[in-house]
Structure formats: C-alpha cells, structure tokens
Amino acid sequence: MTGGVNPFTFAAVARVALTTAKASWTVRAIAGALASTLAGTLAGALVGTVTPVAWAAGPGTATAAAALAGAAPVSQNQTGGIDLHFRPDGTFTIVQFSDPQDNESVNPRTLALMEQVLDTERPDLVVLTGDNISGSECKDAALALRKIVAPMEQRHIPYAVVFGNHDDEGRLARAQLMKVLQEGAYNLSQSGPTNLPGVGNYYLLVHRHDGSEPVVALYFLDSGAYAPKAVGGYDWIKPAQIDWYRETATSFKAQLGHVLPALMFFHIPLPEFDTVWQNGTAIGSKNEDVCAPKFNSGLFAAMVEVGDVKGVFVGHDHVNDYIGELNGIRLAYGGSVGYDTYGKQGFPRRARVIRLREDNPANFETWIHLPPDHGLDPSW
C-alpha cells in the first residue's frame, strides 16, 4: 500500500481455529401475505422507484427489513426469510468459495476443504462466486450443484450464489440452476429482476446485531459468460445491471439518510483488477492473466460515484488471489477451491474469508484460508 497504514490485514497462512461461537443467525418466518405485499411494494424500489421504508427499531421493522432483502419480484417462492445480522460481538464473517468447477462426482478433497474452512472459520454467510459446477462435464448438473451447497446445508449456514461462465454449459440453463438452488433451506440466492440481463442480480442486507437497521448491503451480479464472437473474450456487466445497482444504492441512501456501505460479488473480474495489480498496491499472488472482458462497461466508475462499495470479490482466475485498493475500493480474488479443475503446482486450493465489523463495516478484514495439508501434499 502507498501512503501509510495498510487498512486491511491479510495472512497467506491457514487461519487458526477461532473461538467464536457457531454461526449466529435467525430464521424469521414471514407470513406469505405480508411477504408478497412487501414484495409488491418494494419491487418498485428494485427497478428504480424509491419506496420509503421505515428502518426504526421494532419487531415489525425487522421483518420488513428481512422481506426487503428477499423481496426481488421473481423470488416469491421464498416464503420464509433468513435475516442476516451481526453477532452480539459485532462481527459478521463471510467465506468466499470460488470455482469448484466439477461434475456430480465432486472431488472429495474439494468438499473436505470446504468443510474444513466452514468448521474453522464459522462463517455467518457463504458466497459462491461462480463456476460452481462445470456444466459441460456434468451428466447431472442439478446433482453437482446440490453437492456443492451440501456442506452449507448440513451446517445450517446461509449461502448466496452467482454464476460463472461454466455453470450453464451443460443441460441446465441459469434459470434452471437457480431453481435447483432455491430448493435449499439455507439458500439466499435469487434470480433478481426479470428485466435485467442474466440470472442472479440481487442484494442482501446485513442488519445490526439487534436486528434493527441494515449496516451493510451485499450486491450480487451475474457477470455473464462470453462476449459475442465478433468481440471475443469474456462478457461484461451490462448498463442495465449497473443502473439497477446505482438505483438500489440510491434508494437505500434515501431511506437511511446516509450511504449504506456495501460489498459486491460476481464471477468475472473487472478490467480494474489488472489496474490494481499494475499500480503495485496489491498483495497476494498473481499467477495468470486477469481474464477480464475486453470492454470496460463502467461498473467500477459507478461504484466510485455512488461511494458505497468497499470491496469487490470475484473468482474466474483460479491461481490469482491478490487484493489491492483502487480509489478506495478493495478488489479481491478468491482463488479456487476446486481440486478437479486447473490449478498451479505450489499454489494450493483455497478460500477467502471476509470479516466485517458492525461499528466500522468499511474497514473489513480479509484473509486467505489454505488447506491444513499445505506444504505436505505434492498433488496440489
């Protein structure tokens, strides 16, 4: 980092077991009628019409906030809500798993690493940042996806998913894969507004430990797959998605009276991931090119203008795991957790951990979790 104190911590070593209690979260049942009413009311906010919502403390408000988090118009099959909130100790921990990229015979080492990460880090939320399966290698893509989310289902840990360029290369399209995800009791993934490109443009809110007002917004975007052949390379996030993010963040600001700090998750890195590596502020590993789209469609500029996003987390490039800061936004790779997809000798499979604090959510900690057999296993 240039110009003073490094604002974040990073440890390229396996994290020792934490002493915090098992993931703390509550499930709040939302009456179907109330949820659908709120969904109808708040759908406008999602597509740009600001609908004021009172955030004052109170049980009804907590339910309303939970409904807002789960109230994308196309997610009305979700009749219950999982209300994400900080723990009483003021922390909220997210584990990012990226690019397992396997078929229905998921490599047991991939699942073992995921389980070891979950049991050690005790996250409050898991985010899967794409290429969760390798669709083209699947005989049964639904089974492959169910196996990837099973470690979280078994541990009752909520999880949110975005898709990559390989998930839907088999028999199941993104919308079908999203339906599979929505079978899960702890799934928080949503299709998102139907007028947006892709499947899986949505947000979740993390509330104060007492369940009152939101402290952090988590945005999830579908970064697509491949650009048109005439352009080549990978797809870019579309203007309509950027507009949706900006309008949603603006509506939060109008409701809360201040900018709501945010993190953003998607699969394919932005061109700015290369910029942040080139400017020398990044720490971590870069073992392959930044496979960003050839066009810069302006999402990063929108984030800078809105001023809410403090961290962007992507996958796609399995053997990059660096993090660097550009214009006040930290850009981070997660690395790959998958043992049956490409890697690099001497670069073990891994996961990223993010720890937010309720009293200063912009200044999150993050580190890379390496497998406990690091250094002993020659098969990387």
State whether the Cα torsion 61-62-63-66 is positive or negative. positive
Evaluate whether 332 touches 352 at the Cβ level (below 8 Å). Answer: yes
Residues in region 301-330 near Zn ion by CB under 5 A:
316
Encoded one letter per residue, x for contact with Zn ion by CB under 5 A and - for no contact, window 35-74 reads ----------------------------------------
Backbone φ, ψ for residue 96 (5° rounding): -105, 115
Q: How many residues bind Zn ion (CB under 5 A)?
A: 4
Stretch that binds Zn ion, among 57-65, 161-169, 243-251, 273-281 (CB under 5 A): 161-169
Q: Are strands 125-129 and 91-97 parallel, antiparallel or unpaired?
A: parallel
Q: Which of 91, 129, 165, 251 binds Zn ion (CB under 5 A)?
A: 165
Taking CB atoms, the residue at the shortest distance from Zn ion is 316
CB of residue 166 vs Zn ion: minimum separation in angstroms? 6
Distance in Å, CB of 164 to Zn ion, minimum: 4
> What amino acid occupies position 152?
M
Identified binder of Zn ion from the candidate list 70, 164, 170, 334, rule CB under 5 A: 164
Query: At its nearest, how many Å lie between Zn ion and the CB of residue 320?
Result: 12
Residue 168 touches Zn ion, criterion: CB under 5 A: no
Nearer to Zn ion, 243 or 288 (CB): 288
Query: In the window 123-152, what residues touch Zn ion (CB under 5 A)?
Result: 131
Please give the biggest Cα pair distance in the chain: 57
Q: How far is the CB of 174 from Zn ion (least distance, A)?
A: 14
CB of 377 to Zn ion, least distance (A): 24
Is the C-alpha dihedral spanning 44, 70, 334, 366 positive or negative?
A: positive
Q: In the stretch 81-120, what mask flags binding to Zn ion with x, by CB under 5 A?
A: ----------------------------------------
How far, rounded to the nearest angstrom, does the alpha carbon of residue 126 sit from its chain's CA centroid? 7
Under a CB-based contact definition with an 8 Å cutoff, are residues 233 and 280 in contact? no
Closer residue to Zn ion in complex, CB, 131/168: 131
Integer-rounded Cα radius of gyration of the chain: 19
| SS3 assignment, position 127 | strand
For residues 330 and 343, give the distance between their C-alpha atoms in angstroms, rounded to a whole number. 24
Q: In what order do the strands lie in the sheet with 202-207?
A: 202-207, 214-220, 262-265, 309-314, 329-333, 323-326
Tokens of 147: 């196996």
Note whether 222 and 74 are within 8 A (CB).
no
Taking the C-alpha atoms of residue 284 and residue 260, their distance in angstroms, rounded to an integer, is: 28
Which region, judged by CB under 5 A, interacts with Zn ion, from 45-53, 60-68, 121-129, 156-164?
156-164
Q: x/- contact string, 3-42, with Zn ion (CB under 5 A)? A: ----------------------------------------
Of 262 and 314, which has the nearer Cβ to Zn ion? 314
Q: Contact, 367 vs 15, CB < 8 A?
A: yes
Question: What's the closest the beta carbon of residue 112 comes to Zn ion, in angstroms?
Answer: 23
Residues within the interface to Zn ion (CB under 5 A): 131, 164-165, 316
